[in-house]
């Protein structure tokens, strides 16, 4: 194992994350969805100030219309069918247009809790790193799986962002923990296993959450996580251009936003088409 090179690459990735957090006053953005899988929109996000991007396989399944899926919810069930090589191409394309200073974390078959068990091997980790990934977006739901991901990703110089989920979530996007005390215990153990960034699934809604405040149960879970971890923190799920303000000042470092961008892009296209076709 080439330990020095591995640690050096991880260090570069972490510096990108920390610089973005500092540049944006303690809370920055991880742009995903259409801004992660389409290089044109990834570049637009970066030109507007985003410094963290996340291509992922469910978004690619939706973008490619795989098996006719039209919603992210339906894409989640078949995301594992996207060829791993396709995700490497997506990462390489985004990297080519946004340049080396932007942090890219990627979700790929095998890095999530899949409906069909998928391998994630040395070859997969090396391929993502070679394509330009700084990190892996990990939604594994057991400690053992998370530990395997951390070991493999670190071996090839990639960071791991991992998540605490709720047992009742529509899709299992992390290690489940119900009460705030369980969230704290889970987050602490994830950090002990080597996760470089730790996030909380705030209640996934593919339509977004319109309310301008964080629901009390979510806030309590978020506060429990923030109290026990020292690595950069994330919040993901239903965050949009209205309710994101409620997360500022909480101490969370990174807001993961994807569906909100997808919704805005769809509306912009529909509105513009309407302009061209009006009589």
User: What does each of the 279 residues of the chain score in pLDDT, given as a tens digit?
Assistant: 568 888 899 999 999 999 999 999 999 999 999 999 999 999 999 999 999 999 999 999 999 999 999 998 899 999 999 999 999 999 999 999 999 999 999 999 999 999 888 999 999 999 999 999 999 999 999 999 999 999 999 999 999 999 999 988 877 899 999 999 999 999 999 999 999 999 999 874 433 445 567 888 888 999 999 999 999 999 998 888 888 888 988 999 999 999 999 999 999 999 999 999 988
pLDDT on residue 205: 44
Please tell me the chain's helix, strand, coil percentages from 3-state DSSP, rounded to the nearest 5.
Answer: 50, 15, 35
Q: Give the number of other Cβ atoms within 10 Å of residue 94's Cβ.
A: 28
pLDDT on residue 206: 37
Q: Note the CATH architecture for domain 3-277.
A: Alpha-Beta Barrel (3.20)
4 contact partners, CB below 8 Å, separation of at least 6? none
pLDDT on residue 216: 85
Domain ranges of the chain: 3-277
Coil, strand or helix: which one is 204? coil
The CA distance from 86 to 138, in Å, is: 18
- pTM for this one? 0.95
108 contact partners, CB below 8 Å, separation of at least 6? 56, 57, 84, 87, 88, 120, 124, 128, 136
At 141, list the tokens.
Answer: 């739901």
β-strands 103-106, 52-53 pairing:
parallel
The CA distance from 176 to 134, in Å, is: 26
């Amino acid at each position: 194992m080439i330990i020095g090179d591995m640690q050096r690459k991880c260090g570069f990735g972490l510096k990108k994350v920390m610089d973005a957090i500092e540049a944006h006053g303690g809370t920055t953005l991880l742009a995903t969805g259409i801004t992660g899988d389409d290089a044109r929109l990834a570049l637009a996000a970066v030109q507007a100030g985003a410094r963290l991007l996340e291509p992922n396989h469910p978004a690619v399944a939706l973008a490619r219309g795989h098996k006719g899926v039209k919603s992210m919810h339906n894409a989640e069930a078949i995301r594992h069918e996207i060829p791993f090589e396709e995700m490497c191409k997506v990462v390489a394309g985004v990297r080519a247009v946004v340049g080396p200073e932007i942090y890219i974390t990627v979700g790929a078959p095998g890095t999530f809790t899949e409906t069909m068990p998928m391998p994630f091997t040395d070859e997969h980790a090396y391929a993502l790193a070679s394509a330009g990934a700084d990190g892996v977006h990990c939604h594994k739901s057991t400690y053992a799986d998370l530990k395997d991901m951390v070991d493999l990703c670190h071996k090839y110089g990639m960071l791991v962002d991992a998540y605490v989920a709720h047992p009742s979530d529509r899709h299992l996007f992390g290690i489940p923990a119900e009460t705030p005390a369980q969230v704290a215990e889970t987050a602490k153990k994830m950090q002990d296993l080597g996760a470089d960034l730790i996030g909380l699934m705030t209640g996934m809604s593919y339509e977004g959450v319109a309310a301008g405040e964080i629901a009390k149960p979510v806030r309590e879970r978020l506060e429990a996580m923030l109290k026990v971890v020292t690595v950069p923190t994330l919040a993901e799920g239903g965050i949009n251009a209205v309710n994101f303000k409620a997360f500022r000042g909480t101490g969370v470092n990174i807001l993961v936003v994807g569906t909100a961008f997808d919704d805005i892009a769809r509306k912009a296209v529909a509105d513009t088409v309407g302009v061209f076709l009006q009589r």
